[in-house]
Structure 1
């Protein structure tokens, strides 16, 4: 029997999706990439395969899960299976460099960014900002990894040469211009089946751990979006959000074979939009969705269920 196969490394993030599968009576199977093997001489089972691998897997002790997932996706695609968020999506998930280049290719403005490896090279990169404040982040990131604000090259040099400096898992640190936003919010646009679902405003005053999943804890990380916002819900769905950026995002997703994603942007004081993250392992916040009466995991389950039914019809 054909099923929906979910490829992942974090069971806490798949639980809400499996609940929706059960509600819709959809057959599914869990493929956890924390370990496993692939017999390349055998064909994969029939079904729909949904990749939810995360760039932050190494923070949960699953350092090589993306590499195993990449092998599994190659195997599935070789055999022509229906794969949602396949190998192209994974390559963007684990590299912000690739994300920014793809966004710029389709007319989406990203912050000025320099990728560097090596302490002296990092300092040289910081000097190119000519005294302007800048932030650092990891190339293979998620969870706000490596995000810090620096006002001067000297302060950055002291950090790089200290024991506090955190080497990214792939060795590449990004030096990026600081976007001075008038309010401590970013906007996250959710897509399912390549179509816009909704936009959610995220309060970043508590830090830059922006995963909306209920299982995530909010860490005290630097927020590059401003000062305290007061007592407001961290996640709020924006009713009737419209912006020309949505059509550009859809082109980026289409040309990179990404069907499900969350894309984040921030506005500067002049209202200009800077896009800085494509998250192909998107999660949703239940409180925001209850208020907004929109449900991301339900839409994903319906979408995958439709594809599964379509596959079954084709195979008859």
Structure 2
């Protein structure tokens, strides 16, 4: 009989070292299902191996050459769920990860202030749709991550020229978002991290350099344009804590949506708004923040999933004893 373990479904091995270390430190067994590799098969009539399954599929998988990884994950999660397996961030959460349109709708329907956004299906309608936005405005890809397709335009003429040029980045799903530009009160955004639906910590992300590359993982470190060390814009933001009203609203949102591990990003604007614009269910953790935080994101995940695994094993033992 296979020993129960935590199975992590992912496609990017470069993001895994902090999690491997955290699971080892917590004494929780971890098995990787790397969908960046090809050739796997799934017998749909067979029962999955016992354990807890955790999806870490990323909306940016196609940028690493893993064009089919998201579809592969859809198939795998549907199979697991059809057998009643415990899946953390399952198929409904995956649909949020790969669609900023879905994230916008979820946030708006729960009463959060969200950026004014138009989704343009295909390239042809972009120029006309942009006319409804006063410059500056931004664009981004519906299947985002890593700042995909995020650009600021200060004139319609600049945007028109970009759309007509070879520099235009075609979104993998054909959907480009046009969005109001939000001027920050101070040059940073905030990312609140949650594990098991509960607040872990908040990260202050400095945006003064103007970059939209906000991936916090060590593997995403942004090179210093002067040729020095990598730029490190991440720091703890202790004033955003578990008692903050916005954090409590985020926890309620996650509970209702069935999202168990996530990072939620918001910006405080110059005109007094607090705008939530991203729900990232494939969260990574910055090593410098981890070094000073009293609680660790990866180790919180290891403890949370380890607890689910223990419950799973206890339930299996009870069934066996009754049988």
Asked whether the 8 Å contact 1:119–1:161 carries over to 2, the reply is no
> 1:34-76 CA deviation, whole Å, 9 max, x = no partner?
2222110111011000100000001111011011001110011
CA distance in 2, matches of 1:132, 1:183: 20
**Scaled by the length of structure 1, what TM-score is found?**
0.93
The reply on whether 1:6 has 2:8 as its aligned counterpart is yes
Q: Is the 8 A contact 1:108 1:245 kept in 2?
A: no
The SS at the match of 1:239 is coil
Q: Structure 1 CA distance, aligned partners of 2:197 and 2:50?
A: 23
Query: Are 1:85 and 2:84 counterparts?
Result: no
Partner of 1:268: 269
Partner Cα distance (2:285, 2:121) in 1: 34
Distance 1:25 1:151, change over 3 A: same
Of stretches 131-140 and 184-193 in structure 1, the one that deviates more from structure 2 is: 131-140
1:301 aligned onto 2:288: no
Q: 1:220 to 1:290 in 2, by over 3 A?
A: closer
* Conserved 8 A contact 1:209-1:219: no
Structure 2 CA distance for aligned equivalents of residues 310 and 165 of structure 1: 50
Structure 1's unaligned 5+ residue stretches are 222-230
Deviation at 1:217, TM superposition (A): 2.8
Counterparts in 2 of 1:65 and 1:181: CA distance versus 1, 3 Å: same
Task: Tell me which residue corresponds to 1:225.
Answer: none
Q: Check conservation: 2:61, 2:69, Cα contact below 8 A.
A: yes
The partner residue of 1:99 within 95, 103, 110 is 103
Kept in 2: contact 1:106–1:251 (CA 8 A): no
Alignment partner, residue 122 of structure 1 = 126
Identify unmatched segments of 5+ residues in structure 2.
318-323
Deviation, 1:149, is: 0.7
What is the aligned length? 306
Once residues 220 and 71 of structure 1 are traced to their aligned partners in structure 2, the CA distance between those partners, rounded to angstroms, is 40
1:148 alignment partner, one of 151, 175, 193: 151
Pick the aligned partner of 2:80 from 55, 76, 79.
76
